[in-house]
Amino acid sequence: MNSRTTYNKLPEQIVNFLQKVEHQIGYPLHFYGSVQRIDFILGKSDIDIDIFTHNSTSTVAMLHSILLQSQINMKKIACKLNTSNTLVYGQKISYINPINNTPFEFSIFNIKDKQKILKYHMSKTIIPSYISFFLIILKQLFYNLKLIPVSRFKTWKNFLMNHASSRSNNSLFVYL
């Protein structure tokens, strides 16, 4: 699977926006999460993107200039990656495009951590088909039927992604 392209076809407006971001920051965008799986729901699921840079401060500043300041939420993160047994620091910017309400999550990391992060995110992208099936049902119950609260949705989603797949790569992401 290629992290530079998406499994799900995105509308031209979103593709153009992402090409603009990539061009202006000067680093490639790497996609992960549900946009790379069958359980992605356009307009509901966020589009998760990794950016690997030599200078995260400069890249974050460029992202701030591209995105509307009032529409972003930035957090520092620390990641304990069991896939490589290392601690990685980065920044996460949550952004909702005001034109089409598409949610994005940009994660910015030092380029030296690229292979470790990509390996971890790939482990969350290639999942068993039965997990995909349950994620589709869960997302339908939450997004479309609105039958479960956010807290329950997040709990069940995390359970499916971390425990039900019987994988031991449960890494820890902490917001600082």
Q: What is the CATH number of the domain that holds 107?
A: 3.30.460.10
Domain that holds residue 35: 12-175
Considering the domain boundaries, does residue 18 fall inside one? yes
Position 147 scores a pLDDT of: 97
Position 2 scores a pLDDT of: 81
Position 68 scores a pLDDT of: 75
Position 168 scores a pLDDT of: 53
CA-to-CA distance for 152 and 10, rounded, in angstroms? 28
Cβ contact 60:77 at 8 Å: no
Position 167 scores a pLDDT of: 54
Considering the domain boundaries, does residue 5 fall inside one? no
Position 7 scores a pLDDT of: 93
Count of CB atoms within 10 A of residue 84's CB?
16
Strand partners, 91: 76, 108
* Regions in the chain scoring below 70 on pLDDT: 1, 69-70, 83, 163-172, 176
Considering the domain boundaries, does residue 64 fall inside one? yes
Position 70 scores a pLDDT of: 66
Considering the domain boundaries, does residue 1 fall inside one? no
Position 126 scores a pLDDT of: 87
CA-to-CA distance for 45 and 55, rounded, in angstroms? 29
Considering the domain boundaries, does residue 4 fall inside one? no
Amino acid identity, position 21: V
